[in-house]
Amino acid sequence: MSKIKILNEKDIKKIINLKLAIEAVEDAYKQKSNKKGNVWPLVFYEYEHDVFDLDIRSGNLVDSNCYGLKLISYNENNPKIGLPKVNATALVCDGKTGKLIAILNAEPITSYRTGAAAAIGAKYLANKNSRNLLVIGSGNVAKYSTAAILITMPSIKKVYIYNSRRVIDNDELLLFKGEVKELLKESGMDINAEFESVSDIQEITKKSDIIISATPSDKALIDVSWVKTGTHFSCMGAGLSGKQEIDEKIFSKARIFADDEAQCLKVGEAQSAYKEKIITRFDGEIGDVLLEKIEGRKSNEDITIFDSTGLFLQDLATAVKLINEAKEKNVGSEIEL
């Protein structure tokens, strides 16, 4: 029997913020680059395609002295009976003894660490003076990514929101902006950019310095001919076989970086470019760029792509920061197990 820290959804919402997640995810990418972060094989089981499935992701971070797992279940039908679609639980163990340290509701962690990834891509690969941000998608990933990028890229003055299925009306735009404002507030910041709903993606792409794609699309929404020099892409919507958001030909013109090269070639935004032999590999992984082992952007004119498929190490690093923060601020509870 030993004491285990419990951080439920309410506890986590008291202490999580995007700055914390950005720091955590940078740390995870760096440890991965230094071979101190290992991702273990994914367990995936599908009850009904696109309706009910689950996966178990696991791995360790040696420098953070921990390992753990995240069990995520997705059930499309749950809202009908008043349950959330996503059920996610994380276990974190001590990396020296194997003792279970904490059990966390991993659902909020997933949102924050995904937004953080988009922002880290921009921070290390986009032009420093980027002013115009185009966000493709208006869901959860879009919202967290937008807020996080406004933290790492304070030069941004304009945020364009685009949804391929419908024009975002003013009410929805205000709601989106309000939620982004809340996310920034958690990190002690405010919005310094204008938000605008757009319907002509071709026109906006031509003047965008940074583009976040955050949709479940399975065909390209952005044509290679629309992209201006210097644009940075953070591609967040992939992570499954068959998904695509931007023209695969953009890959041949860009400096391209993965969160995990093997995973991105298989299920990332790069999968089409790889299958069609437009690329054979990435210029590097994002962790190598963070540690300056390789150069990210080489000139203001480079197009850059960060292909983010999502790694359990991002969750684990965020969980560890939350556990420490919770101890300091006396948040959460303890159980004996």
Closest Cα to residue 284, out of 292, 273, 294?
A: 294
The single residue among 14, 93, 186, 291 that binds a copy of itself, judged by CB under 8 A, is: 93
Residue written as tokens 């696109």?
50
Check binding of 335 to a copy of itself (CB under 8 A): yes
Q: How many CA atoms lie within 13 A of 184 on its CB side?
A: 21
Check binding of 31 to a copy of itself (CB under 8 A): no
Closest Cα to residue 18, out of 150, 122, 130?
A: 150
Check binding of 54 to a copy of itself (CB under 8 A): yes
Stretch in the footprint of a copy of itself (CB under 8 A) among 48-56, 120-128, 161-169, 210-218 = 48-56
The single residue among 33, 58, 114, 208 that binds a copy of itself, judged by CB under 8 A, is: 58
Torsion of CA 73, 77, 8, 44, to 10 degrees: 0
Check binding of 45 to a copy of itself (CB under 8 A): yes
The single residue among 83, 167, 174, 240 that binds a copy of itself, judged by CB under 8 A, is: 83
Check binding of 226 to a copy of itself (CB under 8 A): no
Least separation in angstroms between residue 113's CB and a copy of itself is 18
Could you give the CA distance from residue 251 to residue 319 in angstroms, rounded to a whole number?
A: 33
Stretch in the footprint of a copy of itself (CB under 8 A) among 95-103, 108-116, 150-158, 314-322 = 95-103
How does 51-71 read in b/e, with b if 16+ C-beta sit within 10 Å? ebbbbbbbbbbeebebbbbbb
Stretch in the footprint of a copy of itself (CB under 8 A) among 55-63, 190-198, 209-217, 286-294 = 55-63
Annotate 285-307 with DSSP letters as a single string. EHHHHHTTSS-S--STT-EEEEE
Of residues 8 and 300, the one with the C-beta less far from a copy of itself: 8
**Rounded-to-5 percentages of helix, strand, coil across the chain:** 35, 30, 35
Check binding of 292 to a copy of itself (CB under 8 A): no
Least separation in angstroms between residue 166's CB and a copy of itself is 29
Contact at 8 Å (CB) between 259 and 269?
no
Q: Which helix (H) or strand (E) holds 121?
A: helix 107-125
The single residue among 46, 50, 99, 202 that binds a copy of itself, judged by CB under 8 A, is: 99
Check binding of 69 to a copy of itself (CB under 8 A): yes
The single residue among 73, 110, 213, 263 that binds a copy of itself, judged by CB under 8 A, is: 73
Check binding of 52 to a copy of itself (CB under 8 A): yes
Closest Cα to residue 240, out of 46, 89, 29?
A: 46
What is residue 12's three-state secondary structure?
A: helix
Check binding of 81 to a copy of itself (CB under 8 A): yes
Least separation in angstroms between residue 94's CB and a copy of itself is 9
- The site that binds a copy of itself (CB under 8 A) totals a number of residues, namely 40
Contact at 8 Å (CB) between 115 and 19?
no
Q: Which helix (H) or strand (E) holds 58?
A: strand 52-61
Least separation in angstroms between residue 80's CB and a copy of itself is 10
Least separation in angstroms between residue 63's CB and a copy of itself is 14
- Exposed/middle/buried for residue 331 (C-beta within 10 Å: 0-12, 13-18, 19+): middle
Stretch in the footprint of a copy of itself (CB under 8 A) among 3-11, 196-204, 286-294, 303-311 = 3-11
Chain residues binding a copy of itself by CB under 8 A are 1-2, 6, 8-10, 38, 40-41, 43, 45, 52, 54, 56, 58, 60, 67, 69, 71, 73-75, 77-78, 81, 83, 87, 89, 91, 93, 97-100, 103, 105, 333, 335-337
